[in-house]
Amino acid sequence: MSDIKKQFEALQAATLRLRNSSAEERAAKIRALTAETLARKEDLFKATHAERGTHDLDVAAELMMLKTEGDYVAKNLTKWAKPHKVKGSMGTFGKKCEIRYQSKGVVLNMAAYNAPTAESFVPAIAAIAAGNAVMIKPSEYAPESAQIIQGIVNKVFPADEVQVVQGGVKVAQELLALPFNHIYYTGGNAVGKIVMKAAADNFASITLEMGGKSPVIIDETADLENAATKLAWGRVMNAGQVCIAPEYVIVHESKYDEFTKLIGEKIDALYNSDGKGLENSAYVPRLINERHHQRVAGLIKDATKKGATISFGGGSDKKSRYIEPTILTNVSEDMDVMNEEVFGPVMAIMPYKNRAEVIDIIAKRPNPLALYIYSKDNDAVEYFLTNTSSGSAVVNNNCVQAGTNPNLPFGGVGASGMGRSGGFEGFKEMSNARSIVHQPLDRFRDFLIQLPPYSDKYKNIIMKAIK
């Protein structure tokens, strides 16, 4: 038997014990996980810096997500884990109805590389809160972080409660063949499909946290300075390796030239304030590996070949996996940059004349993870919100909706994902919402009127109800 299978079976053997653990016991484990992770922050800063050249404060923001979630879940868990009484109905007259959130069993969490600690531990917190055993596979692209993640788990949890397995595609395939009860996956669409198919073999439920092309709409009433500043940050942060990053901007034609000029200026102001060049900025990390560097550089090349103009940036360095923050204008819809997720610091900008055109451009693409609207016109905001679909949306800001507020569940729709994480919704995602009906046995409430042979009284009640 392989080691992975043995590890899985150890977790499986603990499912009943974990299901019957108290909310207080689970909350204590979540607090211990958060505390140990924060205690290792300097190591995580170093690891992430080595992997992608990330600034400590950007990694700290990731840890902040984890702390926000961990504290909130630990605080509310007793309330969530209690049986939830629900109102009765005609069909359950005289009976007592409740929902009990019960663990699913063993949860697999496959994480991506761009926020390795949060992606490993935020879903794990929800799974632990719901009383599951958990297997975490951090991304093989962030091996130094993965090593620390494994060290944290090994220190906090016994081997039959939470396990970390490191490795790449082969390990992922071996894991996906095991009968997990729930699979939580963060990553791209292509692997998302593989995960979904593998889950079908075992009827595992799934959460898919994927990405896509999150659009930005800037209408004629928008505060352009404000929008350009926030979008410069949203696109360049983590060198664009953020699932909810603004990917392309559709700007009203009357503001197109001004916005195009402003966004370049704002990138410079935020990321090159010391004038030493963007490539020397402590705030512009590198792409995770050569393949992703080549892919993003290829998107710029494809766009320029098809007629796009580089209005800012455009440079790249293969050796250091650097992509200069880049703004593309004169973009057309057939360009790869308008159809593939960039996941790098490259933003395409196109003008629009009327609102219907905006809806059309967005509707031609799979449902995005996020959508951003910059406008001071409430009617326009409502029009754009009601005529589009996305996992989340933000008005007059970007990238502030994920991991920031556990009362706002996070997730995608269609090709950008399914299921939700965060807070009570995240807890429910990892639970079986078991409906339980209690029948009191006294003669006023325990009637069997619905059984044949049907009485006229029963017939009258039913016929009246469906009149």
Cα-based distances in Å from 276 to 272, 273, 280, 281, 285: 7, 8, 6, 7, 15
Q: One of 119, 209, 324, 341 is an active-site residue; which one?
A: 209
CB of 281 to ligand NAD, least distance (A): 23
Q: Does 321 bind ligand NAD (CB under 6 A)?
A: no
Nearer to ligand NAD by Cβ, of 330 and 401: the residue is 401
Site for ligand NAD in 241-300 (CB under 6 A): 243
Q: Of all residues in the chain, what percent are helix, strand and coil, respectively (each to 5)?
A: 45, 20, 35
CB of 220 to ligand NAD, least distance (A): 30
* Residue 348 main-chain phi, psi, to 5 deg: -100, 140
- Listed residue (191, 218, 248, 260) closest to 370, CA to CA: 248
| String of DSSP letters for 333-372 | TTSGGGTS---SSEEEEEEESSHHHHHHHHHTSPPPSEEE
3-state secondary structure of 170: helix
Q: Which of 61, 97, 99, 194 binds ligand NAD (CB under 6 A)?
A: 194
Chain residue at closest Cβ approach to ligand NAD: 211
State the Rg of the chain over Cα.
25
**267 torsion bin: left (phi>0), alpha (psi -120 to 50), beta (else):** alpha
Q: Which stretch binds ligand NAD (CB under 6 A): 91-99, 209-217, 299-307, 357-365?
A: 209-217
Residue 249's H or E segment, with its range, is strand 248-252
Question: How many DSSP H helices and E strands does the chain contain?
Answer: 16, 18
CB of 75 to ligand NAD, least distance (A): 23
Nearer to ligand NAD by Cβ, of 133 and 176: the residue is 176
Q: One of 69, 119, 161, 243 is an active-site residue; which one?
A: 243
Q: Cβ distance 58 to 118 under 8 Å?
A: no
24 is an active site residue = no
Strand bridging mode 370-374 / 215-218: parallel
Q: Does 172 bind ligand NAD (CB under 6 A)?
A: yes
CB of 235 to ligand NAD, least distance (A): 14
Build a one-symbol-per-residue string for 392-411: x at contacts with ligand NAD by CB under 6 A, - elsewhere.
--------------------
209 is an active site residue = yes
List the Cα angle 171/175/179 in 5-degree steps: 165
Q: Which of 39, 57, 169, 356 binds ligand NAD (CB under 6 A)?
A: 169
Q: Does 184 bind ligand NAD (CB under 6 A)?
A: no
- Listed residue (297, 291, 321, 320) closest to 310, CA to CA: 297
Q: Which of 36, 43, 140, 160 binds ligand NAD (CB under 6 A)?
A: 140
Amino acid at 447: F
Build a one-symbol-per-residue string for 100-139: x at contacts with ligand NAD by CB under 6 A, - elsewhere.
----------x-xxx----------------------x-x
CB of 190 to ligand NAD, least distance (A): 6
Catalytic residues: 209, 243
Q: Which residues here bind ligand NAD, judged by CB under 6 A?
A: 110, 112-114, 137, 139-141, 168-169, 172-173, 176, 186-188, 191, 194, 209-211, 243, 341, 343, 369, 412, 417
